[in-house]
Structure 1
Amino acid sequence: MSNAPDTRPGESEEATDKVPDSIAEGVDEEVIESNRRLFTGWQWALFAGLAIAYSAFHLISLNVYPMETWSFRIVHIAGALILGFGLYAGSRFADEGHGKASPVWLTWISYALLIPALYALLQVFLMQQQISSGALRIEPQTETWHFGYPLLLATGGAILLSWCYRQVRSKLAPSDLVLMVCAMATAGYLILIYGTPLRASTGTSFAPVGISLAALAGSLLILEMTRRLTGLALVVISAIFLLYVFFGPYLPGFLGYPGLSFNRFFSQVYTDAGILGPTTAVSSTYIILFIIFAAFLQASKVGDYFVNFAFACAGRARGGPAKVAIFASGLMGMINGTSAGNVVSTGSLTIPLMKKVGYPSKSAGAIEAAASTGGQIMPPIMGAGAFIMAEVTGIPYTEIAVAALIPAILYFVSVYCMVDFEAAYKGMRGMRKDEIPLFSRLVKQVYLFAPIIILIAALFMGYSVIRAGTLATASAAVVSWISPNKMGILSILRALRLASTMAIQIIAVCACAGLIVGVISLTGVGARFSSLLLGLAGVSQLLALFFAMCISILLGMGMPTTAAYAVAASVVAPGLINIGVQPLVAHFFVFYFAVVSAITPPVALASYAAAGISGANAMGTSVASFKIGLAAFIVPFMFFYSPAMLMEGSWMQILRVGATATLGIVLLSGMVQAWFFGPIKVWTRVLMLIGAIFMIYGGIYTDIAGLAIAVALFLMQRKLYPKEDKATASSG
């Protein structure tokens, strides 16, 4: 008996030793895209220095020495283009089996294009001297023949050459060097001219022709960078809108418009009416700041901790890794800003583990895609969507974050129930105790959540978004000093470099979306869509909402969330407001469908990324993720019929609508998965659908009817499957 106390602690310690300290590793590692260059030596040092300087420039400009607004946004875009053309190739690399290296003559042609590019850049300096000497404007011939045409020749030629130029991954292509010089020349000229009274002439026949030529070159550079980083979807949509500018006058019906000349359109599109408008305003302030914040979290390995914490909390529940994916992807996706990027970072860990406990490849990929997409609607950051909404609507950011709370809860409750019911239906297990980290160990590092808590607290204490974001970024570095992954000077510099690399894609996308927004505002096509919705609303408001849903999803297909929302908000939201929908409701309606376009067949970026990891069929995965995320297609209609869902109304109304809608979502999930405390029959599924619709609708009488159906179904299923319910309860 005297030896018993000695052996038990030993056994306990041995059992504890078998428990892994960490199951998630590499979540915070930098993702290297297939067309990303991997420099060495002085080239690596050069681009690392440029990236650090780019992030530092934004922190200093936003907090210490503010810059003139248009100039700041032009530098913001130009810096991303220069870094982007340096880091991302226009075609695949020859040293990775994608054809032979380009012949020497192609290299010499590329270097030859440097001559007009450098000549255009030289002209910017000469024009600056003329303006400084008192010239009121530059000679049109100088702007055309000595600046504009050489710039367009170098830009167009280098873009074409970059499509077919192949080389080793560690070298900079000369065609991309040309594009970097063109980006500098474009930005330099626009900053110069917009700093004079000539800025007021944009959009008129008196505007300098150089603005139009520089804007055209800048638009081509933005479109090419967008193609390299996100594919052709957004580029094709942008090209269609640009063609509409010049061919719109020849179109019949409501699509026709009087027309704009080349000079009137392009002299105005690179202003705050287009590329420098709301999308770039947000990307140059809030988005870049929160990307720096995310990079600091990543550098201190907080992403690994988030995923490990999720495993410790939910790993042992039935279908554990799937529930972990919901929590982890929700946390990461809130900050990440792109559904597909979040799938890649967390899905590489969660998808294989889901398959391990019994989920088919298709379901594993679909769950991760749906959860990662949900991160974009999770307050307080909402993948940067909240900031664009605040900029576009003028509604305070804190109101938007609060309004997003109930819809986000409904979405994640739906995904959780879908996952749980599927796990119960298929008899899946959770992870064993020795397969997941101990919660008691991880809870000792709960202080790693402090930067996010500080961010939320600062925002609701009335600090500006910029000040709160900067404070949270600084706190991420400070908190790391008491964690195992301390951030020193090198780690901070690495975070600044990583932030610039992460920001390039979203900056290019926002600038490209700004180009589309410019077309919409300058041609008036948004107003014509509004009149179409108004006509449909005369027949049925539900029909008008359904049409708005289809347009929002269509415009968002193949695009990152921020661009999808920016475009849909310009085209669809004004029309919804004109038919009587409140501005907050209209923009949330559009935002939700722009977000879920990432899991909507046939072009579902998040689902395709998940399918690439799981090895399942891409289209099958997108259909499955559509089913799992079904609530996101219903919740926006709830905004319209129950504004209390967006915190509009008394607290009693908000609580009632929130509670009954949650129960309705649970019934809907059970209907989809054919499980509710046991398997259900076809007629039961129909009854569940009716009960779900009643409670989701939000009226008092429909809520009572829906509750009656839910209670009756619950009692019936408990009576039919008492043993199964006990078994599932013990395993869940």
Structure 2
Amino acid sequence: MSNEIMSSDNAMPPVSSASVDEIKPAENERLLSGVAASALFVICVGYVAFHLYALNIQPVEPWKFRLIHVSVGLLIGFLVFNSSNSFSSQGASFGRGMGVERASFILSSCVLIMVLAIWLRIPSVVFDEHSEIFNNFLSGISLAAVVVSLLSSYFYKTERGRMSRSDTALGIIALAVGIYIIQSLGRWNMVAGTPMASDVDLYMSLIGVILILELTRRVAGMAMVVIALVFILYAFLGPWLPGVLEHRGYSSNRFFTYLFTDNGVLGPTVSVSSTYVVLFITFSAFLQKSGVGEFFVNFAFSMAGRSRGGPAKVSVLASAMMGMINGTSVGNVVSTGPMTIPLMRRVGYDARNAGATEAGASTGGQIAPPIMGAGAFIMAEVTGIPYTEIAAAAVLPAVFYFLSLYFMLDLQAQRLGIRGLSREELPNLKGLLRKVYLFLPIIILVVSLFVGYSVIRAGTLAIVAAAVVSWFTPYRMGPKEILNALALSARMVVPLIAVCACAGIVVGVIALTGIGARFSSLILGVAGDSQLIALVLAMIISIIMGMGLPTTAAYALAASVVAPGLQSMGIPPLVAHFFVFYYAVISSVTPPVALAAFAAAGISGADPLKTSIASFKLCIAAFLMPFAFYYSPAILMQGEGFIQILRVLITGSIGVFFLAAAVQAWCFKALNIILRIMAFAVGVLMMLGSVETDVIGVLMAVVILGIQFKLKDHRKPA
């Protein structure tokens, strides 16, 4: 923290919240130095600077802009991320594979030269792009280059501090694919996705798909890759599948080139990643470089640290604020978790509950406006609903979510007798209040959005504000620090680019085969006329599809497959998309595959599955909230007056309190099983939002409280 935490027999050892602003490299991330690091730095800075220039000054034709976004993003990704977590510890392993690596580099360079020759229209018989010999040679050498580079990357390891020729070759091939499609864009618009696509078009798009899948595997694991491969297989196996899954099938030329249109990889997910995601990841990098992350955590400690179970409440408050910076639940966990989890352990939480608390709090950052883990921007892109309306609709659900977590932790601390931190262990609130101007970038962002500025302009103003406020801190951002922030943002955005492009492959298959509409028909058929049954099915499918995926990809898939079915049953688009968005997000704390809980367990040292179960219990309100959207649209501020919204806020807050009491078996005193069931019923009834359910809930709450105050509880806190 800013002040050192004083150590004594009853105090904690010093901890520095500056760690939240440090970007910890992934296990397979290279730590380059020398010329290689300088070259990568220049590429990264140029990449983000190009996006900011195109978004604010000189727009670029959308397909061309997205192709540059994806192809150069792949280049950076392959330069940064190794094929596995293992690196060579000595030069011998590298030496044995040097010949193969050189071959991959030479082949990829040849591909790039040939594509550039087509683009520059070099007058030569050898480079005649209409020559069948030339086309066959380009196709063959491209496939050979990608196969040799992938094999070399897998089997021959380099040291962590040096660049791999084979991965550089993969990046060059990705660049060549982008250039090939850009130089033929006029023709590509007409032939992509049709039988008129040439063999070279096929091979270039096929290689592009392979590279997207490979980088996704490196940055996000196999879950998303397996899903994409299943959908790709479905496109070819359709004629032999039964029932609603059957379709006529597609030729390779038509299928793979179709994926590189605005119905596939270049569609809504990459549109969002090339604009809003890059912009707000850059904003995040500027906030981190300006020391705002440290301020957020110190502020959280000063506000909540002294209350009972203080470090757990700090985790909730810090994660709510850091959620505006980090783009994923797991990213939030690894930023704040190394600080909050040990502090929770110090005051009496066991490893499982400490990890579960951090996982639940960090997941909440993905549903907190204004950024919502980029989900709000995809929702605006897909539904056509203005972003400001989506952000406003997200306010009350986020309030209920974090209130629920707060009540859970407060009642748990009462039950277990967990203390807070002493004044000496906390940063000085008065000193922090003198730095309250560090909230200005967030305030400027929100105000700009709601006074009518575009998201792009508001985000750019927030980036400038982050740099300006840093001039009043020890982290003053000069030209060097600004360039470092731009380079950092490029490295941070690459995993999301890969995931969004991979999600675009799935979206392309859905659009081409029509499986989305058929799936909607299937939901309608199973649910009949019951919207409730349809919602339950949508919940299960959204959670399953989201397991193991980052927020952006999880929602993109659910929005393509599940939301249209709900809308076809008459559920308003905003309600339908918020419904699947919430379940896609909380899949990160849903057993058995709960990425946020697993990341927190890795920090706390607890069993991952037990941690995920504990986080599931803490986040129970989030599992009920989407049904509350359906029964009470006032929670999303839809079609109701101020009085109705205020009533929903009050009764919903009471509801989440009783849900917390039911889960923790404590409401001022211990609850027996009957009172826990009653408390759970009160929570559900009061979250539904109708006057009738509120009245019944209030009456039951009065009964519970009456029994609690009459009974004498002789249990002592542990």
The normalised TM-score by structure 2 is: 0.95
Alpha-carbon distance in structure 2 between the residues aligned to 1:340 and 1:101: 36
Task: Map 1:521-540 to 2 at 5 A.
Answer: 521-538=511-528, 540=530
Unaligned runs of 5+ in 2: 1-7
Among 642, 652, 667, the alignment partner of 2:658 is 667
> How far did 1:334 drift?
2.7
Aligned length: 704
> 1:121 corresponds to which residue?
112
Deviation at 1:46, TM superposition (A): 1.2
Partner residue of 1:705?
A: 696
In 2: Cα distance, 1:462 partner to 1:539 partner: 41
CA–CA separation in structure 2 for the residues paired with 1:116 and 1:131? 20
Q: Which residue of 2 aligns with 1:3?
A: none
Of 249, 253, 264, the residue aligned with 1:259 is 249
**Are 2:79 and 1:86 equivalent residues in the alignment?**
yes
Which one of the candidate residues 580, 583, 607 is aligned to 2:573? Answer: 583
Give the superposition deviation at 1:132: 9.7
Structure 2: how far apart are the matches of 1:155 and 1:721? 73
In structure 1, what is the equivalent of residue 203 of structure 2? 213
Give me the whole-angstrom Cα distance separating, in 1, the residues matched to 2:687 and 2:532: 15
| RMSD, aligned α-carbons | 2.1
2:536 counterpart of 1:546 = yes
Residue 31 of structure 2 is matched in structure 1 by 38
Give secondary structure in 2 for the equivalent of 1:581: coil
* Partner SS for 2:113: helix
Q: Measure the CA separation in 2 of the matches of 1:449 and 1:599.
A: 29
Give the partner amino acid of 2:107.
P
Alignment partner of 1:64 is 2:47: no
Unaligned runs of 5+ in 1: 1-14
Q: 2:342 aligns with which of 333, 345, 352?
A: 352
Using the alignment, how far apart are the partners of 2:123 and 2:548 within structure 1? 46
Instruction: Give the Å deviation of 1:201.
Output: 2.1
Q: CA 1:664–1:459 in structure 2 vs 1: closer, same or farther (change >3 Å)?
A: same
Tell me the equivalent position of 2:99. 108
SS state at 1:257 partner: coil
Alpha-carbon distance in structure 2 between the residues aligned to 1:310 and 1:719:
37
8 Å CA contact 2:181–2:188 kept in 1: the answer is no
3-state SS, counterpart of residue 93 of structure 2: coil
Q: 1: CA distance between counterparts of 2:307 and 2:615? A: 21
Q: Report if aligned partners of 2:192, 2:260 keep a CA contact under 8 Å in 1.
A: no
Percentage of pairs with the same residue: 51
| Deviations 1:85-130, CA, capped at 9 Å, x for gaps | 111111234445xx99536443212211233322221221222244
Deviation at 1:656, TM superposition (A): 1.8
1:140–1:617 CA distance, 2 compared to 1 (3 A) = farther
The answer to whether 1:175 aligns with 2:166 is: yes
Q: Which residue of 2 aligns with 1:154?
A: 145
Whether contact under 8 Å (1:20, 1:436) holds in the other structure is no
Pairing 1:453-472 to 2, within 5 Å after superposition: 453-472=443-462
Cα separation, 1, equivalents of 2:194 and 2:527: 37
1:326 corresponds to: 316
Query: 2-side partners of 1:436 and 1:143: how far apart?
Result: 70
Q: For residue 111 of structure 2, give the secondary structure of its aligned residue in structure 1.
A: helix
The equivalences for 1:554-569 within 5 A come to 554-569=544-559
Inter-partner Cα distance in structure 2 for 1:533 and 1:369: 32
Deviations 1:163-188 (A, max 9, x none): 22212111111211210110111011
Amino acid at match of 1:326: V
Question: Which residue matches 1:690?
Answer: 681
SS at match of 1:47: helix
1:276-335, CA deviations, whole angstroms, 9 ceiling, x for partnerless residues?
000000000001000000100000111011000000000000000000000101111233
Q: Counterpart in 2 of 1:676? A: 667
Using the alignment, how far apart are the partners of 2:674 and 2:473 within structure 1? 55
Is the contact made by 2:329 and 2:588 (CA closer than 8 Å) also made in structure 1? Answer: yes
Q: Please report how far the alpha carbon of residue 540 of structure 1 lies from its aligned counterpart in structure 2 after TM superposition.
A: 2.7
Letter in 2 for 1:38: L
Higher deviation after alignment, 540-549 or 624-633:
540-549
Q: 2:428 aligns with which of 408, 433, 438?
A: 438
1:91/1:164 contact within 8 Å kept: no
Residues of 2 paired with 1:535 and 1:589: CA distance? 20
Deviation digits for residues 323-362 of structure 1 (CA, Å, limit 9, x no counterpart): 0000101111233111011100100100000000000000
- Look up the equivalent residue of 1:529 and give its one-letter code: F
| Matched letter for residue 552 of structure 1 | S
- Letter paired with 1:33: A
Which residue number corresponds to residue 8 of structure 1?
none
Conserved? CA contact 1:94–1:100, under 8 Å: no
In structure 2, what is the Cα distance between the partners aligned to 1:650 and 1:717? 36
Query: Contact 2:239–2:246 (CA<8 Å) still a contact in 1?
Result: yes
User: Following superposition of structure 1 onto structure 2, how do residues 197-346 of structure 1 map, counting pairs within 5 Å?
Assistant: 197-346=187-336
Amino acid at match of 1:248: G
Q: Please point out which of 50, 53, 70 is paired with 2:46.
A: 53
Change (3 A) 1:298 1:640: same
Match of 2:4 in 1: none
Instruction: Please say if residues 470 and 476 of structure 2, whose CA atoms lie closer than 8 Å, have aligned partners that are also in contact.
Output: yes
CA distance in 2, matches of 1:70, 1:131: 25
Deviations 1:110-153 (A, max 9, x none): 211233322221221222244999xxx94372564132221122
| Cα distance between partner residues in 2 of 1:443 and 1:627 | 35
- Secondary structure of the residue that 1:431 maps to in structure 2? coil
Gap change, CA 1:143 and 1:540, over 3 Å in 2: farther
Q: Paired residue for 2:19? A: 26
Q: Structure 1 residue aligned with 2:380, among 390, 402, 413?
A: 390
1:643 equivalent in alignment to 2:633: yes
The 2-side partners of 1:666 and 1:628 are apart by 12
C-alpha deviation, 1:438, in angstroms: 1.3
Q: Which SS does the other structure have where 2:49 is aligned?
A: helix
Partner of 2:471: 481
Q: Match for 1:75: what amino acid?
A: I
Contact 2:670 2:713 in 1 (8 A): no
Alpha carbons of 1:496 and 1:103: their partners in 2 closer, same or farther (altered >3 Å)? closer
AA in 2 matched with 1:459: L
Kept in 1: contact 2:315–2:358 (CA 8 A): yes
Q: Larger deviation: 20-29 or 174-183? A: 20-29
Contact 2:104–2:165, Cα closer than 8 Å, also in 1 = no
Counterpart Cα distance in 1 of 2:284 and 2:95: 42
More deviation, 658-667/600-609: 658-667
For normalisation by structure 1, the TM-score amounts to 0.93
Q: Distance in 2 between matches of 1:43 and 1:485?
A: 27
Alignment-derived partner of residue 720 in structure 1: 711
Partner of 1:11: none
Aligned to 1:491: 481
Match of residue 400, structure 2, among 410, 431, 440: 410
Amino acid paired to 1:154: A
Q: Does 1:657 align with 2:648?
A: yes
SS in 1 for 2:239: helix
The offset of 1:23, in angstroms, is: 4.7
* Secondary structure in structure 2 of the residue aligned to 1:376: coil
Moved more, 591-600 or 143-152: 143-152
Measured in 2, the distance between the counterparts of 1:382 and 1:78 equals 26
Between 1:40-49 and 1:428-437, the stretch displaced more is 40-49
- 8 Å Cα contact 1:389/1:587 also seen in 2: yes
